[in-house]
Structure 1
Amino acid sequence: MDTMAIIIACGKEEEIAPGTEAAFLTLGNRPMIAHSLRVLELSAEIDSVVLVVSKERVESAVQVIKRYGCTKVCGVVVGGVNRLSSLRTVFSKIKTEPSVVVVHEASRPFISQTVLAETVKCAKRYGCAIAAHKLPDAVKVAPKGMRVADTLDRNTAWVAQTPQVFKASVLKKIIDPQTRGVKIVDDESEFIDASSEVHMVESGSANIKIRARADLGIATALMNAQLTDVESNSPRLGFSGR
C-alpha cells in the first residue's frame, strides 16, 4: 500500500511579519521545512513526498531538498490560492496514485515518528486519522463575541493538528472539483463522509504550529531543551547536509 506525504509549505504567517512564510524560517540549525522532511525521509511508512510551495519559493525548496539529502521527494508543486486548490494540483500532477495520503503542515516542525506511524496505521484501517491533542481544561464556546453559549466537558475537546492521513479514495472525494461548499482551512477531516471514520491519534502539546513570534520562541526553547521526540527532531541526531 503506497503512502505519499504532501507537505503544505506555502502559507504566510502575517502574525510573525508581513509576507513571512514560516516553512522557510530558520529553526535550530536548518530551515523549518527541513525538520518535517527529515522525519518523512527516515520513516518506513512513507514512500514518496511532494512539497507544495509558493511560486517564489520553488528554487529555495529545491536547494533544501538537495542540501539535506531528501531522496523521497518526487516533486515540488506551486500551491494554489487555498489549501483545497493546492491538493487538487498535486493530484493532477502525480503519475501514479498512492493508496494512502499524508497531509502535513511544514509549520509544525515537531512531528514525531511515533505519531506519524500511528496515524498512517489508523488511516489504513478507518479511512482517516488525524494527529490531535486532547485539551485537559473545560472549553467555552462563544460563537458570537465574548458571550458564552456552551461549555464542553474537560477531556472531551481535541485540537486538530497534522499529520492528517487519508485513504486516497477518501481524500479524492473531498477535493473533487464537483464537490460544492467545501472550504478547507487546515482540517480536511471535517468533510469525511459517513462511509469512513475519523480516528484521532494523541500527538501531544509539543506538536505546535508556528503562527506568531511567540510560537517561534516556544519552538526554539523546545529545540534548546531537547524536548522533541528523539526519533525525529532531537538536535543530538545528525542529518546529512549540515
Structure 2
Amino acid sequence: MSVIAIIIACGKQEEIAPGTEAAFLTLGSGPILSHSLKTLEEASCIDRVIVVVSKERVDAAMQIIRRYGCTKVRGVVIGGASRMSSLRTVFSKMPSDPSVVVIHEASRPFLSKKILAETVKGAKRYGSSIAAHKVEDSVKIAPKGMRVGETLDRNTVWTAQTPQAFKINVIKSIVETRNKGVKLIDDESALVTAPAETHLVEAGWTNMKIRSRHDLEIAAALLHARLVGDVVRFELRETPAAV
C-alpha cells in the first residue's frame, strides 16, 4: 500500500499574523517546515510527500526541500484559502491515487515517527485515524456569554491534532462533497461514513501547534531542553529542607 503525506503550509489557519505563515519562521537550526519534512523523510511508512504553500512561498519551499535533502517530495502545490480547496487542488494534480493519505499541518513541528506510524496503521484498519490529545481539565460550554450551560466529561473530550490519515476512498469522499463551511481537521470526522470510522491516537501535548509568537517561544524552549519525543518524562525531586 502506497502512502502519501501532504504538508499544509499555507492558509489562514497556518498564519500567526496576516501574511506570516508559521512554516517559514525559524525554530532552532531551520524553518519550522523543515522539522516535519525531515521526520517524513526518515519515516519508513511514508512513500511520497507533497508540500502545499502559498504562491509567494514556492521558491522558499523549494530551497528548504533542497537544503535538507528531502528526496520523498514529489511536488510543491500552490494552495487555496482553505485546506479543503488546497486538497482539491492536490488531488486534481495527482497522477495516481495512493492507498493512504496523511495530512499534516506544517505549524506542528514536533511530528513523531511513532505517532505517524500509528495513524497510518489506524487508517489502514479503520479507514481514518487522527492524532489527538485527551483534555486534562474540565470543559465548560457557555453558549451565551459567560454563563455555563454544560460541563463535559473530560474523560471523553479530545483535542484534534495532526497527522490525520485516511484511506484514499474515505478522504476523496470528504473532499468531493463540496460541503460549505466544513473545516478539515475540525469537522472531518462527521463526514467519515460507515463502514469506515475515525480512530484516535494519543499524541500528547508536545505535538503542539504554533499559532502565535508565544507558542514559538514555547516550542523553542522545548527544542532547546530536548523535551520533545515519543514520551516526555518528568523526574520529581523533593525540595531540600531549609536549615
Deviation at 1:195, TM superposition (A): 2.6
State how far apart, in whole Å, the 1-side matches of 2:157 and 2:70 are: 36
The answer as to whether partners of 2:15 and 2:21 remain within 8 angstroms in 1 is no
Displacement, 1:80?
1.1
Please list, as runs of the form range in 1=range in 2, the aligned pairs for 1:66-215 lying within 5 A after superposition.
Answer: 66-176=66-176, 178-181=177-180, 183-187=182-186, 188-215=188-215
Worse-superposed segment, 123-132 or 14-23: 14-23
Q: 1:56 to 1:159 in 2, by over 3 A?
A: same
Offset of residue 186 of structure 1: 3.0
* Structure 2 residue matching 1:155: 3-state secondary structure: helix
RMSD: 1.7
User: Comparing 179-188 with 109-118, which one deviates more in the overlay?
Assistant: 179-188
Amino acid at match of 1:147: R
Conservation of the 8 A alpha-carbon contact between 2:3 and 2:47: yes
Amino acid at match of 2:102: V
Aligned partners of 1:102, 1:13: CA distance in 2, in Å?
A: 18
Provide the C-alpha distance between the structure 1 equivalents of 2:220 and 2:64, rounded to a whole number of angstroms. 20
Q: CA deviation at 1:155?
A: 2.0
The residue type paired with residue 38 of structure 2 is R
Deviation at 1:19, TM superposition (A): 1.6
- Tell me how far 1:210 sits from its aligned partner: 0.4
- Pick the structure with greater CA Rg: 2
Shift of 1:156: 1.4
Distance 1:141 1:16, change over 3 A: same
1:44 pairs with 2:44: yes
Q: Which residue of 2 aligns with 1:8?
A: 8
Q: What percentage of residue pairs aligned between the two structures are identical? A: 62
2:63 alignment counterpart: 63
Q: Which amino acid is the alignment partner of residue 163 of structure 1?
A: P
Structure 1 unaligned spans of 5+: 232-242
Q: Deviations over 1:64-87 (max 9, x none)?
A: 000000000000000012111100
Q: Kindly provide the amino acid, as one letter, of the partner of residue 69 in structure 2.
A: G
| Deviation at residue 15 of structure 1 after TM alignment | 7.6
Secondary structure of 2:156's aligned partner: coil
Between the two proteins, the alignment pairs up a number of residues equal to: 230
Looking at structure 2, the residues matched to 15 and 44 of structure 1 have their Cα atoms a distance apart, in angstroms, of 30
* Aligned mates of 1:190, 1:218 — CA distance in 2: 32
- Contact 1:173–1:179 at 8 Å: present in 2 too? no
Q: Shift of residue 144 of structure 1?
A: 2.9
Mark the runs of 5 or more structure 2 residues left unpaired by the alignment. 232-243
Deviation per CA, 1:117-137: give whole Å up to 9, x if none. Answer: 000001100000000000122
